Amino acid sequence: MTIRSVLQAITHPRSATEDLAPSPPATPDFAEPLHGSLQLRHVDAGSCNGCELEVASAFGPVYDVERFGTRLVASPRHADALLVTGPVTKNMVGPLEKTFLAMPEPRIVIALGDCARDCGIFRGGYGVEGAVGDILPVDVQIPGCPPHPAAIIEALRGLTGQ
């Protein structure tokens, strides 16, 4: 790769990223203190990993939700929002609550996918404690089984306002 082609890739990127609606959906009041910056801590509370694939895809080159000021972080201490996928299994109730309490206020909880919202097809399972809303106060819900990356991005853009 020559220097010229590197410079060209920076100035005129042949990006795989798709265009989206120019303006984000309206920002709810609880997202005002974010000021256009959203750090997410993702917790898999018992998901089938379908939602994880879509989250990974939302952060990949095609959807690139990072361009709207969102990042996944490695510690709940760095996070503004808790991104929960899957129904909350009995073994994950404790870790989920601990993660929530380890986050600095103001903290937001996002229930991603039908399982996180109302247990989905796992409702009534012997290992399932309940939906995310039964354990933590949920602020944002993203429906779908699994939700489309565009739906995830729309919800996150509503929080960052970018």
Residues that bind another protein (CB under 8 A): 1, 6, 9-10, 13-17, 33-37, 39, 61, 64, 66-69, 71-75, 77-78, 80, 102-106, 162
Q: Which residues pair with 40 in a beta bridge?
A: 72, 81
- What the block records as the tokens of 2 is 């020559």
Question: In the block, which residue shows the tokens 């379908």?
Answer: 50
Pick the closer one to another protein by CB: 46 or 76: 76
CB of 6 to another protein, least distance (A): 6
CB of 10 to another protein, least distance (A): 5
In angstroms, rounded to a whole number, what is the distance separating the alpha carbons of residues 21 and 145? 23
CB of 145 to another protein, least distance (A): 26
Q: At what angle do helices 149-160 and 50-58 cross, to 10 degrees?
A: 60
Pick the closer one to another protein by CB: 27 or 162: 162
Q: How many residues does the chain have?
A: 162
Residue 86 to residues 10, 105, 132, 144, Cα–Cα distance (Å): 38, 24, 8, 12
Pick the closer one to another protein by CB: 54 or 114: 54
CB of 159 to another protein, least distance (A): 12
Pick the closer one to another protein by CB: 73 or 145: 73
